[in-house]
Amino acid sequence: MQVTAEDFSQATHLAALIQTAQRLMRERRLDEAAAAWQGVLALKPDHAQALFHLGQHYLFRRQPAEALRLLERAEAADPKNPAVPLNVSFVHRLQGDAKEEMAALVRSLGADPYFFPALLAKAMLLERSGDKRRAAQIFKDVVTIAPPPDQLTPELRTALEHARAAVDENAAALDAHLDAALRPLRARHADASLGRFDECKDISIGRAKAQTQQPTLLLVPRLPAIPFYDNADFPGLKLLEDATETIRGELLALIGADEGGFRPYVDHPDGSPLNQWSGLNRSMKWNARFLWKDGERIEEVCRQCPKTAALLEKAGMADIPGYAPTAFFSVLQPRTEIPPHTGVTNARLIAHVPLIVPQGCRFRVGNVTREWRVGEAWVFDDTIEHAAWNDSDEIRITLIMDVWNPLLSAAEREMIAALLNATRGYYGEIPPASF
């Protein structure tokens, strides 16, 4: 097709007008920008961008009839742009036509199902129409896909806060409804353990998030994500619980004789990405003294705590040469928080034996939060997100060791140990710290 000098001149003029209109919009000189867009339409009557911005201009000026005429032409010219039918919905809202407003929002979301402003507008329309429950369901999606707050206008940030409040209000109402509906059944099963069901219910209504195993090194599939295991699966725990006073006595003697032997538990080398550990790296706020570390017995400490060492050997620690067992005294200083994190593998679990526990010390695994109690041990899956708090003014000390996951067979345990060491041999890497 031959391009004439007149065609070239017109195209150049059109491009200049578009640039001028865009600049004037950035400068908030809206009336002048509208005049420039009118010039664009004079040269190209079906120019989608000009139609859209002029439609927005007349909407802003509260001239809905003219805005709708232009925006409908813009939608015909650019049917895949979700912003155009969104603005059409604003015109219908201004006119009080909820049916057409919803139709326009459906078209917008048809073009882009994840278009945040349209999803938000749909939820708000349902809420205005009195359908608060359906609105809350969509508000939940809005909260899920919302951009970071710093990418939103003040108006959208306020609307997002409203969406979160609506979701919370609906969750509370749904929770009350479910409690009433389930009360007769709960009474019938008063002697049953319903903790897992209660977590299921909280997840279903959005009051808790589904927790999954997130190991940083090795995932063994088909092992359930159990936050806290039944102590009956670990007979050796009873030995440690019964000997709490003995272990604590050796711990206090160890502290008195060699307090300097405790070291920061988190000790990443220079240049490592710290992420959540920036506040605890090389800090004595969380410190430890190891009896075993990455499969190696620390003879000096075991000599100072011989009864504790003997109990640990009988208790059934995990055994992976170069990796496990690991056993240590864990000290959490007053007013200290261990941030949410996950461990290396679900092949082994972690046991805590509380030794010194002031009031105000909490531990969360997934959606389950417990308080340590002296002499009451527990075993948990540390590949599920977990965190700890010492909200007291005194130190908290526990004895920690790793144990095999009881659902693994002897053959699987041996194969996993071989797998880890063969992989390390291939790469020539040392075992990860605090396996």
Same domain, 153 and 254: no
pLDDT score, position 138? 94
**What is the residue whose two structure tokens read 């405790």?**
262
pLDDT score, position 4? 62
**67 belongs to a structural domain:** yes
Q: At what angle do helices 5-26 and 30-43 cross, to 10 degrees?
A: 160
Domain boundary pick from 147, 169, 191: 169
Residue in 312, 324, 354, 332 with CA at minimum distance from that of residue 420? 324
Q: How many domains does the chain have?
A: 2
Contact at 8 Å (CB) between 64 and 96?
A: no
Domain boundary pick from 143, 169, 195: 169
Q: At what angle do helices 154-188 and 116-128 cross, to 10 degrees?
A: 60
Same domain, 268 and 357: yes
Same domain, 103 and 239: no
| Terminal Cα distance for the chain, rounded | 71
Q: What pTM was computed for the model? A: 0.75
CATH of the domain at 149: 1.25.40.10
**419 belongs to a structural domain:** yes
Same domain, 146 and 56: yes
pLDDT score, position 36? 82
Residues 343, 216: Cα–Cα separation, whole Å = 6
Same domain, 134 and 272: no
Number of neighbouring beta carbons within 10 Å of residue 166: 21
pLDDT score, position 3? 47
**223 belongs to a structural domain:** no
Same domain, 265 and 399: yes
**90 belongs to a structural domain:** yes
Same domain, 278 and 416: yes
Residues 350, 371: Cα–Cα separation, whole Å = 16
pLDDT score, position 5? 54
* Lookup: tokens for 346: 């679900």
CATH of the domain at 331: 2.60.120.330
Same domain, 240 and 160: no
Same domain, 243 and 145: no
pLDDT score, position 118? 95
Same domain, 20 and 135: yes
Residue in 27, 28, 30, 53 with CA at minimum distance from that of residue 40? 53
Backbone angles phi, psi at 28, to 5 degrees: 65, 25
Binned average pLDDT, 10 residues per bin, the chain of 435 residues: 57 80 85 84 88 90 93 93 96 95 95 93 96 94 91 91 94 92 93 91 89 94 95 96 98 85 90 85 95 96 97 96 95 97 96 97 96 97 97 98 97 94 80 56
**282 belongs to a structural domain:** yes
Same domain, 252 and 363: yes
**221 belongs to a structural domain:** no
Contact at 8 Å (CB) between 338 and 330?
A: no
Same domain, 33 and 142: yes
Domain boundary pick from 169, 195, 219: 169
> For 352, what's the count of Cα atoms within 13 Å in the CB-facing half-sphere?
26
**303 belongs to a structural domain:** yes
Cis peptide before 325 (omega within 30 of 0): yes
Q: Name the residue range of residue 78's domain.
A: 5-169
pLDDT score, position 258? 72
Number of neighbouring beta carbons within 10 Å of residue 386: 23
**114 belongs to a structural domain:** yes
| DSSP sequence for 70-135 | HHHHHHHH-TT-THHHHHHHHHHHHHT-HHHHHHHHHHHHHH-TT-HHHHHHHHHHHHHTT-HHHH
